[in-house]
A and B are shown apart, each in its own frame.
Chain A
């Protein structure tokens, strides 16, 4: 499909609006007279052209709308007429207000971005030899089912950098600029002399004295992380400084005595140990391969502190589907899918851009930007409008992507009207068809601004 679609935009495309008798190069979009029937036949003929569409739309689309409007005036049970209560109820509901706000963001952002990208892609690909291949790539997402697209993006946005592509990329960038902590997550036992908040720093309750061994036991290190480490050694003896050991006070399989260096327990090298007196760091050391450290005599009488930098958890990346990013994240997925749609249609329209006029402009010294701005865009205007309007309306009823990608706990933050409609009228065992129908009617009303824009366009068109 990609070629086909891609080909549409290809410069080699047959020009549908550039017939052999291309008489009006400057105004390819139509003559200067009001557009009226060429055939001047009676309206009865039009009926035959419209009949199949009208019958199908009437029976299968209009009839359900009529039903919705009617149903929206009744309560949950469908028996009691409640007037506009369902509608006023909508605006009191926080979830629906969020949905409305999100829908607004969607309508303002997604179609514009898709159309802009589609236009850029359609124009730029004409210049490269592998333009068709590029179009295939951009068009491909359209051929993937919404379900699959939703699944792949819920994978992309996974929080765990091991699994989510977005966070894998993000943490890789982040980690090149910062060193990871030597023992993330390690902490003292709850009953230990070392105290501190969960993420460190941990400070000893007792002060240390020269000649006394300082034992700083930690736990909660994964067994495989210490697999290659040396066994922990007792603090060195002698010297006038303070000797101590930082080690993993946990014996695999259990059984070791707490706060004692048992055989089989591993050293924790590379940990920074600070001696603190009255809030001031008076000395510091780093543990050796066997977990031991020695602080100078100046540390006598100080408390020992293991700074939090030793234990900082690995950077976990960004919470893409968190309350603030969830809507932009899903919009990005939508753009990924639908930019191809815009590109294909714009490319089809691009085939009608009069090359003669462009050449003439260039000969007159116009630069490419001016040609694009003054010729390409105006000629493409009708197509751009079609794409934009289609996408705007499409985005108003956006459902699948939001529903699949956004985790249910976040649905409230990423809510949109169609999802709320689904939740109200279909999900669960106790559907509220009254409210659901009211939402669908509100959706219909929301098209009106888009339609007003269209009416003005039609007026302009017929006034040409």
Chain B
């Protein structure tokens, strides 16, 4: 992920950053295109992009419409009547102190959850991929099985556990819950990516005298870059958009964004415009974060790899 930018900042001995511009180094797909008919591929992708965009556009336009309009006509009617568009819902949400005040809580939940999942998942993934211990593959499979556990199964038992640990209604409790439920996927993904790292590299580092931790942080983590970034993004988004866990475990006085937006909804109503605008407000932050950090993030990863 985040790599177009990265490639510029971090020169690599790979010829791959060259794209269509350079015929001598053209990528796999550009050749596919050339052979299979670039026009057909392009047309296909355009159609798919259109199909994929339609629901999002519908959601976006719905967020700018009156509930009364939503109740009578489809969102595409705004193309014939742009006067329907209104920013009322956004004004309400942005002007609401509870909603805006919920942002820090969301960040305090999301960022630690993401970091913890990445670090703990990577440590375990590395151990499952490259360390010897009895029953390694079986333990690994058991962890993967945990992917199937639905969150709702855990709500009540974990709530009682948190009562005893004094973690109920705390951010720590929410973070730990998200981390635990993010781990099976993290371990599964990273173990499989780490296992693909060429053994020679690790052995070379080992011969250079690198210790276990150094090997992990200097070789494995950087090489797992794309997978770790993908994991980080997914985990970030899942936690950011979570409502259920927060509703149960977070302090009701200081809820995260999703719960705060939900508190603005009206009963007996689909609240489409609120849910839609809430979704887009909620999307802004992750977008900004990734645009802002992608350079640093990837170049940092690359620096590690080159050293």
Contact indicator per residue, chain A 337-375, by CB within 8 Å of chain B (1) or not (0): 000010011011101110100100010000110011000
If A61-B181, A142-B237, A390-B189 touch, whether A3 touches B291 (CB-CB below 8 Å) is: yes
Residue of B nearest to A163 (CB): B74
Question: Which of B121, B201, B286 has a CB less than 8 Å from the CB of A19?
Answer: B201
What CA separation (Å) do A455 and B138 show in the bound complex? 9
Contact indicator per residue, chain B 241-283, by CB within 8 Å of chain A (1) or not (0): 1010000000000000010000000000010100110110011
Residue of A nearest to B147 (CB): A393
> Which one of B81-89, B93-101, B154-162 is at the interface?
B154-162
Question: Which of B56, B227, B298 has a CB less than 8 Å from the CB of A348?
Answer: B227
If A35-B199, A61-B181 touch, whether A12 touches B19 (CB-CB below 8 Å) is: yes
Residues on B with C-beta less than 8 A from A1 are 233, 236-237, 286-287, 290
**Contact across chains for B38 and A127 when beta carbons are under 8 A apart:** yes
**Contact across chains for A344 and B1 when beta carbons are under 8 A apart:** yes
What CA separation (Å) do A21 and B153 show in the bound complex? 48
**Contact across chains for A345 and B76 when beta carbons are under 8 A apart:** no
Residues on B with C-beta less than 8 A from A33 are 199
Residues on B with C-beta less than 8 A from A40 are 132
If A61-B181, A145-B241, A382-B192 touch, whether A126 touches B27 (CB-CB below 8 Å) is: yes
If A8-B2, A31-B199, A458-B137 touch, whether A145 touches B258 (CB-CB below 8 Å) is: yes
Which residues of B121-137 have CB atoms within 8 Å of chain A's CB atoms?
A: 121, 123-124, 126-127, 130-134, 137
**Contact across chains for B223 and A61 when beta carbons are under 8 A apart:** no
Residues on B with C-beta less than 8 A from A233 are none
User: Is B115 an interface residue when CB atoms closer than 8 A count as contact?
Assistant: no
Residues on A with C-beta less than 8 A from B195 are 30, 35, 382, 461
Those 10 A-B pairs whose CB atoms lie nearest each other, nearest first: A126-B29, A127-B29, A148-B279, A348-B226, A8-B1, A60-B180, A4-B2, A43-B133, A49-B127, A127-B33
Which residues of A207-248 have CB atoms within 8 Å of chain B's CB atoms?
A: none
Contact indicator per residue, chain A 87-100, by CB within 8 Å of chain B (1) or not (0): 00000000000000
Contact indicator per residue, chain B 1-42, by CB within 8 Å of chain A (1) or not (0): 111111100101111110110000001111111011010011
What CA separation (Å) do A155 and B272 show in the bound complex? 9
Question: Which of A3, A62, A425, A451 has a CB less than 8 Å from the CB of B141?
Answer: A451
Residue of A nearest to B5 (CB): A7
**Contact across chains for A62 and B227 when beta carbons are under 8 A apart:** no
Question: Which of A131, A382, A440 has a CB less than 8 Å from the CB of B149?
Answer: A440
What CA separation (Å) do A10 and B229 show in the bound complex? 14
What CA separation (Å) do A127 and B183 show in the bound complex? 35
**Contact across chains for A53 and B153 when beta carbons are under 8 A apart:** no
**Contact across chains for B130 and A12 when beta carbons are under 8 A apart:** no
CB distance from A444 to the nearest CB of B (A): 6
User: Is B68 an interface residue when CB atoms closer than 8 A count as contact?
Assistant: no
> How many A-B residue pairs lie within 8 Å, measured between CB atoms?
420
User: Is A252 an interface residue when CB atoms closer than 8 A count as contact?
Assistant: no
What CA separation (Å) do A379 and B15 show in the bound complex? 19
User: Is B78 an interface residue when CB atoms closer than 8 A count as contact?
Assistant: no
List 15 contacting pairs A-B, 8 Å CB cutoff, sorted by A: A1-B236, A14-B305, A17-B223, A30-B199, A46-B131, A49-B131, A54-B124, A60-B176, A121-B45, A134-B48, A134-B49, A138-B49, A144-B241, A383-B193, A425-B152
Contact indicator per residue, chain A 145-156, by CB within 8 Å of chain B (1) or not (0): 111110111011
**Contact across chains for A351 and B183 when beta carbons are under 8 A apart:** no
**Contact across chains for A129 and B20 when beta carbons are under 8 A apart:** yes
Listed in ascending order, the chain A residues whose CB lies under 8 Å from chain B are: 1-8, 10-24, 28-31, 33, 35-41, 43, 45-47, 49-50, 52-54, 56-57, 59-65, 67-68, 121, 123-129, 131-132, 134, 137-138, 140-149, 151-153, 155-156, 158, 162-165, 168, 336, 341, 344-345, 347-349, 351-353, 355, 358, 362, 367-368, 371-372, 376, 382-383, 385-386, 389-390, 393-394, 396-397, 399, 418, 421-422, 425-426, 437, 440, 443-444, 446-447, 451, 454-455, 458, 461-462
If A124-B44, A127-B29, A127-B32 touch, whether A11 touches B19 (CB-CB below 8 Å) is: yes
**Contact across chains for B152 and A421 when beta carbons are under 8 A apart:** yes
User: Is B64 an interface residue when CB atoms closer than 8 A count as contact?
Assistant: no
If A16-B223, A67-B157 touch, whether A451 touches B145 (CB-CB below 8 Å) is: yes
**Contact across chains for B73 and A163 when beta carbons are under 8 A apart:** yes
What CA separation (Å) do A56 and B234 show in the bound complex? 20
Contact indicator per residue, chain B 213-232, by CB within 8 Å of chain A (1) or not (0): 00110000011111101100
**Contact across chains for B176 and A56 when beta carbons are under 8 A apart:** yes
What CA separation (Å) do A22 and B212 show in the bound complex? 23
**Contact across chains for B73 and A137 when beta carbons are under 8 A apart:** no
CB distance from B174 to the nearest CB of A (A): 11
User: Is B170 an interface residue when CB atoms closer than 8 A count as contact?
Assistant: no
**Contact across chains for B198 and A3 when beta carbons are under 8 A apart:** no
Question: Which of B29, B52, B154 has a CB less than 8 Å from the CB of A336?
Answer: B52
CB distance from A371 to the nearest CB of B (A): 7
Residues on B with C-beta less than 8 A from A368 are 31-32, 35-36
Residue of B nearest to A140 (CB): B56
**Contact across chains for A28 and B196 when beta carbons are under 8 A apart:** yes
**Contact across chains for B275 and A151 when beta carbons are under 8 A apart:** yes
Residues on B with C-beta less than 8 A from A451 are 141, 144-145
What CA separation (Å) do A128 and B35 show in the bound complex? 14
Residues on A with C-beta less than 8 A from B294 are 3-4, 7
User: Is B102 an interface residue when CB atoms closer than 8 A count as contact?
Assistant: no
What CA separation (Å) do A10 and B224 show in the bound complex? 16
**Contact across chains for A14 and B148 when beta carbons are under 8 A apart:** no
**Contact across chains for A8 and B3 when beta carbons are under 8 A apart:** yes
**Contact across chains for B33 and A128 when beta carbons are under 8 A apart:** yes
Residues on B with C-beta less than 8 A from A385 are 192
Given A56-B180, A57-B180, A345-B230: 16 more A-B contacts, CB < 8 Å = A5-B230, A11-B16, A35-B195, A39-B130, A39-B131, A45-B131, A63-B158, A127-B38, A129-B20, A134-B48, A137-B53, A138-B49, A165-B76, A168-B76, A393-B144, A446-B148
CB distance from A218 to the nearest CB of B (A): 27
Question: Which of A6, A11, A63, A137 has a CB less than 8 Å from the CB of B28?
Answer: A11
**Contact across chains for A336 and B55 when beta carbons are under 8 A apart:** yes
CB distance from A129 to the nearest CB of B (A): 6
